[in-house]
Structure 1
Amino acid sequence: MVNRAVLYFLFIVEVFPKGLTSVIQTQQTVMAAVGEDVHLSCQLMESKDVLQVTWQKLSPEGKNKNLATYSKRFGQTVNPGFQGKVEFKDAGLQNCSIVIRKVMEQDEGCYLCLFHTYPDGSLTGRTCLQLYELHEPILQIRESNSTEETVVSCSATGRPAPTVTLNVPQQDLYFSHNSTVSVTNTNGTVTVTTTAVLSGSHENGAQVGCAARLLSVPEIQVFKTIPAVKLFSVLGSTVIVVFVVLACGCVAAVIAVPLKRKYNNSLSHRDSEMNEMNQSNNYRHL
């Protein structure tokens, strides 16, 4: 009699699945990162004569996939296609939960927990798994044409598209001319790049930061120090002028020394010629 009842309820689950019921308590949405283990649970809130609990994954084609079943007679059973991927965490006829190991993109979707009761039929709960992916932002700083401005760019890749925000701890620095570009990658992730011009005066050790946010996931922040070469550029013109003046002075000194020697030699040679001429004139008078 029991075996016939079990076969009967298995038949109506596959052919005549019933709608969802509030009798089963479960999470509507479960958020998980790619590569994590996910825990899905269902609890029957009313006392029923449960013969078996079945876990299924909803299929877009309309034919659900049976993942695992639990009953007192047969215990825990995981279908061959999901062994090593799906495991029971709490196996029970009133409270049943499974673990999906190292979830990937193909694991995303909605799952059903079906409590096959006698004589009421099948009671169904549904929970949907939504995956996210968030990588550490990449922060770049480069020089601009202006000595008082720096171009800051930050890129973050995630799934779905993350929110990227630039920030500066110092009050005398501010961002302007912000622009954001999004690119969808072949693996379904989205790379968001925010670029802005950092203006204002700053001292050595000044930092800029970038924060990447995704849904309710904790944000990821990175910081980077503004290159010291930027500080040099503020005094660059003065240093260059001093350097040019000193260089010109050195060159002038190098050129002046041989000219002075040549001039002195020319004077000495002229004095000698004058002395000889005077002596000749004196001899003629005698």
Structure 2
Amino acid sequence: MTPAVVISCLLVATIFQTGHFAVIETKEAVWAAVGDQASLSCRLSKTKDVLQVTWQKVLLDGEKNLATYTEKYGSRVSAGLEDKMDFQYESLQSCSIVIRKVMEEDEGCYRCLFNTYPKGAMIGRTCLKLCELHGPFINVSRSNSPPGSVVTCSATGRPAPMVTLTVLHQNLSFSHYNTSRVTNINGTVTFTTTVLLSALNNTQVECSVLVQTAALRELLVTVPGLTETSDD
């Protein structure tokens, strides 16, 4: 089984449980695009006497059991979820599940419970977040004052995309560099970069956009030089 490629920050959480401290290592956030698969993992930093590992989805009215693992019975996925998820790696000290074909309803937080004897459950928490990226989109218009070409590049995504404009000719640079950021109702962010390019000849400009979970996207455009355009 091929694991999902995810980029996220590692969170080492210290959980207080029934009078003792236990450290569970997990990822604070796992990002995945709709249709991809995502891996959720938890690991005990110190060996404990674990009887069972349980994965749950956190709901508004409580938790829903998704899967369990014991040495005696092996891994078990709740009825109706067999095609949706499975154990990727299973042991009583470290356990991970994979969620296939991620959908919007899969977004949210999940708990891993290491049920120990005689102390009870030690609980870790990790959250699955959806990512998306639209763009880049480039627009070029003419400016008379100051003279030059206004180049605008934008992209929309979540998490917020990084938008970069680069001139691909030496000894040329942008002026009047501006950026804007708008948070949309659906949780995506639109990031726009606008620059003024004053070049006598045609110039290639590259716009690159990046979100932390997707491959870099690049778009090239040829900007007409001041000597290549007629007066408005």
TM-score range, shorter chain: 0.7 to 0.9
In 1, Cα distance between equivalents of 2:78 and 2:210? 38
Q: Describe how 1:53-64 pairs up with structure 2 within 5 A.
A: 53-59=53-59, 61-64=60-63
* Alignment-derived partner of residue 117 in structure 2: 118
Judge conservation of contact 2:200–2:227 (CA < 8 Å) in 1.
Answer: no
What RMSD, in angstroms, separates the aligned Cα atoms of the two structures?
Answer: 3.1
Mapped partners of 2:140, 2:125: distance in 1: 48
Contact residue 25 and residue 43 of structure 2 kept, 8 A: yes
Q: Which one-letter code corresponds to 1:140 in the other structure?
A: N
Equivalent of residue 208 in structure 1, options 200, 205, 211: 205
Give the drift of 1:68: 0.9
- Tell me the residue number matched to 2:96: 97
Partner Cα separation in structure 1 for residue 145 and residue 210 of structure 2: 31
State the Cα distance separating 1:104 from its structure 2 match.
3.3
1:28 matched to 2:28? The reply is yes
Deviation >6 Å, runs of 4+:
none
Equivalent runs, 1:159-198 vs 2, <5 Å: 159-198=158-197
Mapped partners of 1:53, 1:129: distance in 2 = 19
Runs (5+) with no aligned partner, structure 1: 1-16, 238-286
Identify the structure with the greater strand proportion: 2
Give the structure-1-normalised TM-score: 0.63
* Partner of residue 42, structure 1: 42
Where does 1:233-252 land on structure 2 (aligned, <5 Å)?
233=229
1:216–1:103 distance in 2 versus 1, CA, 3 Å: closer
* 1:259 alignment counterpart: none
Bigger shift: residues 172-181 or 31-40? 172-181
For the residue of structure 1 that corresponds to 2:27, the secondary structure is: coil
- Number of aligned positions between the proteins: 215
Amino acid at match of 2:206: G
Q: Give the whole-Å Cα distance in 1 for the aligned partners of 2:113 and 2:75.
A: 15
2:136 corresponds to: 137
> What corresponds to 2:65 in structure 1?
66
What is the match of residue 51 of structure 2?
A: 51
Tell me by how many angstroms 1:207 deviates: 0.3
Equivalent pair of 2:34/2:131 in contact (CA under 8 Å): yes
Cα deviations by residue, 1:232-280 (Å, 9 ceiling, x for unpaired):
33xx69xxxxxxxxxxxxxxxxxxxxxxxxxxxxxxxxxxxxxxxxxxx
Amino acid at match of 2:102: V
Quick one: structure 1 residues 174 and 125, their matched pair in 2 at CA, closer, same or farther if it must change by over 3 Å?
Answer: same
Contact kept, 8 Å, 1:68 with 1:78, in 2: the verdict is yes
CA distance change for structure 1 residues 142 and 52 in 2, over 3 Å: closer, same or farther? Answer: same
Over 3 Å counting, the alpha-carbon distance change for 1:144 and 1:169 in structure 2 is same
Q: CA deviation at 1:154?
A: 0.9
* Aligned residues of 1:21 and 1:125 also touching (Cα < 8 A): no
Shift of 1:44: 3.2
* TM-score, L = length of structure 2: 0.76
- What whole-Å deviation, never above 9, does each CA across 1:104-144 have from its counterpart, x for those lacking one? 33323322111112222112222233332223301122334
Deviations 1:145-200 (A, max 9, x none): 47951121111011132232222122443323344444444543222222222113
Alpha-carbon spacing, 1:175–1:48, altered in 2? closer, same or farther (3 Å): closer
Higher-RCO chain (CA-CA 8 Å, sequence separation at least 6): 2
Task: Output the CA distance in 2 between the equivalents of 1:101 and 1:46.
Answer: 30
Question: Percent of aligned positions with the same letter in both sequences?
Answer: 51
Q: CA deviation at 1:48?
A: 3.6
Separation in structure 2 between the aligned mates of residue 78 and residue 63 of structure 1, nearest angstrom: 19
**Alignment CA distance shift 1:220-1:109 (3 Å):** same
Equivalent pair of 1:150/1:198 in contact (CA under 8 Å): yes
Does the Cα contact within 8 Å between 1:55 and 1:68 map onto a contact in 2?
A: yes
Map of 2:222 onto structure 1: 225
